[in-house]
Amino acid sequence: MFYERIARPLFFTMPPEFVHRLSMIALAHSPMAAALEPFARKNYPALEKKVFGLIFPNPIGVAAGFDKNAECVNAWPRLGFGFMELGTITPKPQPGNPSPRIFRLPAQQGLINRMGFPNLGMDAVARRLEKIKAAGRWPRIPVGMNIGKNKDTPLEEAGRDYLACFRRTRDLADYFVVNVSSPNTPGLRQLQRGDFLDSILGPLRDEDPQALRPLLIKIAPDLVEEDLVEIVAAVEKYRLVGIVATNTTIDKTGLPLQEQGGVSGRPLTSRSTEIIRAVSRLTGGRVPIIGVGGIFNAVDAREKLEAGATLLQLYTGFVYEGPLVVRKICGGL
Ligand SMILES: Cc1cc2nc3c(=O)[nH]c(=O)nc-3n(C[C@H](O)[C@H](O)[C@H](O)COP(=O)(O)O)c2cc1C
C-alpha cells in the first residue's frame, strides 16, 4: 500500500532514469535493502527449482538491464529474488543513447526504453564481481551475465564481442545469456538469424566445448514462427541450455506514446507468453525457458509457467509494483 499510495506517485513525478539511479544508489550503499528484507523476503521451499544444474530458491529473477553494472548484487537476494541477471555488458564501456531514453506509459502499466546498453564495460563489471567474491560476499542465489556487443562493432565482427565478454566473466557468473534481441542497438536483432547466430554461438561453444557454463539466448517477442524454428535449431546445434523469452517489443500499436524504443510491461504480457508457448511447443518442452515480459502478479506468473516457462524474470513489474513484488508473486504461486 505504501508503495502504491506514496512512493510510486512521488517517483512518477520525477524522470524515470533519475528514479532508477536513486533506487540503485539506495539499494547499493545504504541499509535500505536490509530494512526492506523482513518485509520483502520469505523462504518458499516448495518453489525451489534445480535448472541447468543450478539451484533457484524461487523462480522469480531480476531481468537484465536493471543492474547492468553489478551494483546491487547483494541487495537482490534481500528483496526476495531467486536469481539475478546482470548486464547487458559490452567489451568496452559505452554511454548508450542520449537522454531522455526511458518513458512511462502509466495508464498502460508499461515503459518504452531506448537505453542502448549504457554500461561500464566488461572489465569494470568483472572487477566489481571479483571484489565481491574475494570478500566472501558472493550471493546465495544464481547470478546470470547478459552479454552484448558494442554499438560501434560491425555485425560481422559481433562474435568477437560476445566471446570477449564471456571470457572475461566466465568465472564470475553461474549462467550466461547471449543478447541478440535488444531493439536499441542498430542491427542487433539481425543477429537472431542463421548465419549470424553461427558466427556468435560457434566461437562461444568452441571456447567451452564441454558446455561447463550454462549458455542461453535471449530472443525478441517480434519473431515469427520460422525465426523461432531457426533459433531452436541453433539451440540444439550449439547445446544451449535455455532460452530467455522475451526482450521488449517494437510494436507500439494503440499506445498513446510513440517514442522510439522497446515496449515492456503490461502491453507485452500476452505477446511474450505466446512466444513462450511457441518455443515450448517447438522444443517439445525439453529446453528450459526463462519467461519475461509483463509479469506483475501471481496470475501473470502462473500464465507464463503454464505456457512452458521454468523460471521467470521481471523488470517493469518491479517499477510498478514495488519492492515487495517478489514476495507477493511467490506467495500467490
Ligand atoms: C529500462 C530497461 C532497460 C533494459 N535493458 C536491458 C538490457 O540491457 N539487456 C537485456 O537483455 N534486456 C534489457 N531490458 C529488457 C528486460 O530485461 C525485459 O526483457 C523486458 O523489459 C520485458 O520484461 P518486463 O515487462 O518485466 O519489463 C531492459 C528493459 C528496460 C525497461
Considering the chain, what is the average pLDDT of its residues?
97
Residue ranges and CATH numbers for the domains of the chain are 2-332 (3.20.20.70)
Residues 103/111, Cβ–Cβ less than 8 Å: yes
Nearest atom, ligand 1, residue 317 CA? 26
Q: Of 272, 273, 333, which is closest to residue 299 (Cα–Cα)?
A: 333
Angle between helices 225-237 and 194-207 (to 10 degrees): 20
Q: What percent of the chain has pLDDT over 90?
A: 98
How confident is the model over 156-168, as pLDDT tens digits?
A: 999 999 999 999 9
Q: How far, in Å, CA of 296 to CA of 314, rounded?
A: 8
pTM of this structure? 0.98
Ligand 1 and 145: CB distance under 6 A: no
How confident is the model over 185-219, as pLDDT tens digits?
A: 999 999 988 889 999 999 999 999 999 999 999 99
How confident is the model over 91-146, as pLDDT tens digits?
A: 999 999 999 999 999 999 999 999 999 999 999 999 999 999 999 999 999 999 99
Q: What is the pLDDT of residue 48?
A: 98
pLDDT > 90? residue 30: no
How confident is the model over 268-304, as pLDDT tens digits?
A: 999 999 999 999 999 999 999 999 999 999 999 999 9
Q: What is the pLDDT of residue 29?
A: 86
Q: How far, in Å, CA of 265 to CA of 252, rounded?
A: 12
CA of 142 to the centre of ligand 1 (A): 19
CA of 143 to the centre of ligand 1 (A): 16
pLDDT > 90? residue 88: yes
Ligand 1 and 84: CB distance under 6 A: no
Q: What is the pLDDT of residue 192?
A: 87
Ligand 1 and 65: CB distance under 6 A: yes
Grid coordinates belonging to 70: 553489478
Sign of CA dihedral 112, 67, 152, 292: negative
CA of 64 to the centre of ligand 1 (A): 6
- The dihedrals phi and psi of 95, each to the nearest 5 degrees, come to -85, -15
Q: What percent of the chain has pLDDT over 70?
A: 100
Residues 126/91, Cβ–Cβ less than 8 Å: no
175, 244, 247, best to mutate for ligand 1 pocket (most atoms within 8 Å of CB):
247
pLDDT > 90? residue 42: yes
Q: Of 193, 186, 182, which is closest to residue 218 (Cα–Cα)?
A: 182
Q: What is the pLDDT of residue 300?
A: 98
181 assigned to active site: no
Q: How far, in Å, CA of 245 to CA of 219, rounded?
A: 6
Q: What is the pLDDT of residue 195?
A: 86
What is the pairing mode between strands 242-245 and 215-219? parallel
Q: Of 121, 120, 115, which is closest to residue 98 (Cα–Cα)?
A: 115
How confident is the model over 98-107, as pLDDT tens digits?
A: 999 999 999 9
Nearest atom, ligand 1, residue 265 CA? 25
